[in-house]
Amino acid sequence: MNVKKKIEKFTSDSLVLIKDFDVNAINKLHECHIHLTEWLKEFKMGLENVCEQTGESGHADWDKFCHGRLPKNIDDPEYLPTLRKLVVEYACKHRKRKLCV
């Protein structure tokens, strides 16, 4: 069985999980279902070179940025206003141009 057929079978098999068990597709499945075949054809290498751990790395950076600054209880009346301020601050920190207030 060639690589394209294996990817098609994997896609078909994993869609059973998503549809029959009502689970959300994780990013890795999306990458395999939508991008892997065209990526392999174009670049002759796997996606791990460009996407491995990207989401986890961003999440860890966000957690580090917010550490001790966000109320632990999401029912705290200050939680959402604080979260909004942190999101804006974080986004501004990561922008190339100074468009944030």
The predicted structure's pLDDT at residue 54: 62
Instruction: Read off the pLDDT of residues 57-72 as tens digits, 9 standing for 90 and up.
Output: 677 888 999 999 999 9
The predicted structure's pLDDT at residue 80: 95
| Secondary structure (DSSP) of 12-62 | HHHHHHHHHTTPPPPHHHHIIIIIHHHHHHHHSS-THHHHTTHHHHHHHHH
Q: How sure is the predictor about 52, in pLDDT bands with cuts at 50, 70 and 90?
A: low
Domain ranges of the chain: 3-51, 56-93
Instruction: Read off the pLDDT of residues 80-95 as tens digits, 9 standing for 90 and up.
Output: 999 999 999 998 887 6
Contact 29, 62 (CB under 8 A): no
